[in-house]
C-alpha cells in the first residue's frame, strides 16, 4: 500500500493558506489559487531546488509584502490541519500485515510543522508507521510524474500491479495509473480509514 499524506492521513485545506495570504497581501483568492499551480517557485521548493529562505523571498516578492519568516511560515502552514490518532492506529495495525509506503509532495517548512503535530498525538516517530517514507523535497521528484512511481517501485523491487495507491488528488492518481499502479481516490479520509480497519 502506498499512501499520500495531506488529504489522506493528515487533514488538509489549501483554502486556509490562500485566505491567510490574501488577508496579508493585495492578492485575491483566485490569484493565489492560480499561482499555487502555475508559478515555478512552489514546485521548486517541493523538489528541493530552492532553500527555505529563497522560497520566502519569492513569496514576499510575489505578494509584494515584507513578511517576517514567522508570519510567512504561519500562513504557509495554515493548510495543515489535524492528525487524527485513530488513523495512526489503523496504520500501525495494517503494517503488521502489509508493506506500507508513503510519498508526499511537500517541503521542509511543512514537514517541520507536521513533525510537531505528530509529537502531540504519537509517542513514536511518524516514519515508524511505514516501511519507507518519501518526501518530494528530499528525493527531488514529485507526483504526478510517472517516473516518480517507477522510482519508488525500483527502491523496493515492487511490481506496480501489486500496489494500491491512496491519494486525494486525481492528477496524482492518473500519473500512478500510467505507471501501472492500482489507485483509490480518497474523497473522505474518515471513510477510507473505516474501510481499512476491516483489513486489519
Cis before residue 139, ω within 30 degrees of 0? no
Q: Which of 62, 77, 92 is the last residue of a domain?
A: 77
Alpha carbons 1 and 103: distance in angstroms, whole number: 11
Reported pTM: 0.93
Strand partners, 10: 6
Q: Strand pairing partners for 185?
A: 167
* pLDDT at 58 (0 to 100): 96
CATH number at residue 69: 1.10.150.240
- Above pLDDT 70, what percent of the chain? 100
Cα–Cα nearest to 83, from 126, 51, 50, 53? 126
Are residues 66 and 96 located together in one domain of the fold?
A: no
Look at residue 112 and tell me if it is in a domain: no
Q: Which pLDDT score is estimated for 100?
A: 97
Same domain, 94 and 59: no
What confidence score (pLDDT) does residue 37 get?
85
Q: Do 151 and 191 reside in the same domain of the chain? A: yes
Q: How confident is the model at residue 122, as a pLDDT?
A: 93
Beta strands (DSSP E) in the chain are 2-3, 101-104, 132-135, 164-167, 182-185
At 26, is the pLDDT very low, low, confident or very high (cuts 50, 70, 90)? confident
pLDDT band at 102 (very low <50, low <70, confident <90, very high): very high
Q: Are residues 91 and 61 in the same domain?
A: no
State the Cα–Cα distance between residues 196 and 189, nearest whole angstrom: 10
**Contacts with 65 (C-beta within 8 Å, 6 or more apart), sequence order:** 24, 25
Residue 154: domain span: 2-11+84-106+123-197
Place of cell 493585495: 26
Round to whole Å and give the CA distance between 56 and 62: 10
Q: Is residue 116 part of a domain?
A: no
| pLDDT confidence of residue 103 | 98
Q: Residue written as cell 509517542?
A: 123
Residue 172 in domain: yes
pLDDT (tens digit per residue) in 157-200:
999 999 999 999 999 999 999 999 999 999 999 999 999 998 77
| 109 φ/ψ angles, rounded to the nearest 5 degrees | -65, -45
Confidence of residue 120 (pLDDT cuts 50, 70, 90): very high
The number of distinct structural domains making up the chain is 2
- Return mean pLDDT, the chain: 95
* CATH code, domain with 139: 3.40.50.1000
Q: Is residue 188 part of a domain?
A: yes
Q: Are residues 100 and 7 both part of a single domain? A: yes
Amino acid at each position: 500500500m502506498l499512501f499520500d499524506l495531506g488529504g489522506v492521513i493528515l487533514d488538509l485545506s489549501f483554502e486556509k493558506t490562500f485566505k491567510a495570504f490574501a488577508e496579508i497581501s493585495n492578492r485575491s483568492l483566485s490569484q493565489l489559487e492560480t499561482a499555487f499551480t502555475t508559478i515555478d517557485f512552489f514546485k521548486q521548493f517541493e523538489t528541493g531546488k530552492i532553500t527555505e529562505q529563497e522560497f520566502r523571498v519569492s513569496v514576499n516578492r510575489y505578494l509584494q509584502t515584507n513578511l517576517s519568516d514567522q508570519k510567512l511560515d504561519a500562513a504557509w502552514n495554515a493548510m495543515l490541519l489535524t492528525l487524527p490518532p485513530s488513523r495512526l492506529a489503523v496504520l500501525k495495525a495494517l503494517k503488521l500485515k502489509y508493506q506500507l509506503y508513503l510519498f508526499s509532495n511537500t517541503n521542509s517548512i511543512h514537514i517541520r510543522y507536521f513533525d510537531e503535530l505528530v509529537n502531540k498525538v504519537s509517542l513514536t516517530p511518524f516514519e515508524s508507521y511505514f516501511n519507507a517514507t518519501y518526501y518530494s523535497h528530499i528525493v527531488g521528484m514529485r507526483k504526478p510524474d510517472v517516473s516518480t512511481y517507477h522510482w519508488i517501485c525500483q527502491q523496493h523491487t515492487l511490481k506496480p500491479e501489486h500496489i494500491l495507491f491512496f491519494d486525494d488528488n486525481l492528477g496524482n492518481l492518473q500519473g500512478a495509473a500510467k505507471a501501472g499502479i492500482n489507485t483509490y481516490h480518497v474523497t473522505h479520509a474518515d471513510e477510507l480509514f473505516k474501510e481499512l480497519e476491516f483489513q486489519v
